[in-house]
Structure 1
């Protein structure tokens, strides 16, 4: 049935040992990946639970002038965003900070031009 295998017991034992070693390596890698996926899923749950309702995105300069206001879960918000409450977001929009055109926080907050 398996004519491509070596005909002697010694070489078959070597092949079996080699395959066992590879299976152990594969099992270890799979276990590590599963653990990483579980950790990432837990971290994502924590991140989603802590997502603020509103974000203000700041510029690169030292004065950190606000560039835009976003809804808390907006995917367009940059890394230089800080969570704020609704009153702070409204004041920023009223003060001339741009509303994100993707998530439209001004509409969500009930601010009309």
Structure 2
């Protein structure tokens, strides 16, 4: 009889090593998640921009709507804008959001 371990014994040993590695990696991930959460809790949230300009879909991506920065009806196609850019967009005929009414807040009414 041979003193060397069987192929099955070797595979089970490899499995134990890999499970240990996986548990160690998961522990590192949990530690890093806790660290990031604690860091995020210390930092104040980034304030929203004062104004947003929503752009359309496609090649030209022209402006389609202006929003107040804190509007709940914004989409991922919004870009931050300063007061002058928002006023210019409204003056150029870009639609004002009907929910947050940036035209009222900027004093630009049709």
Query: Residues of 2 paired with 1:60 and 1:37: CA distance?
Result: 35
**Residues 66-106 of structure 1, C-alpha deviations (whole Å, 9 max, x = no match):** 11000112121111111111111111111111101111100
Q: How does 1:55-66 map to 2 (within 5 A)?
A: 55-66=52-63
Task: Tell me which residue corresponds to 2:23.
Answer: none
Computed over aligned residues only, the root mean square deviation of the Cα atoms, in angstroms, reads 2.5
If the length of structure 1 is used for normalisation, what is the TM-score?
A: 0.61
CA distance in 2, matches of 1:96, 1:41: 41
Provide the rounded CA distance (Å) in 2 between the counterparts of 1:42 and 1:79.
27
State TM-score, norm by structure 2. Answer: 0.62
Question: CA separation in 2, counterparts of 1:42 and 1:84?
Answer: 28
| 1:94 and 2:91 matched | yes
- CA deviation vs aligned residue, 1:27-79 (integer Å, no higher than 9, x gap): x798666545434445761x22xx22111000111101111000112121111
Alignment of 1:104 with 2:107, yes or no, is: no
- Could you say which residue in structure 1 is the equivalent of 2:17? none
How far apart in 2 are the matches of 1:60 and 1:83? 17
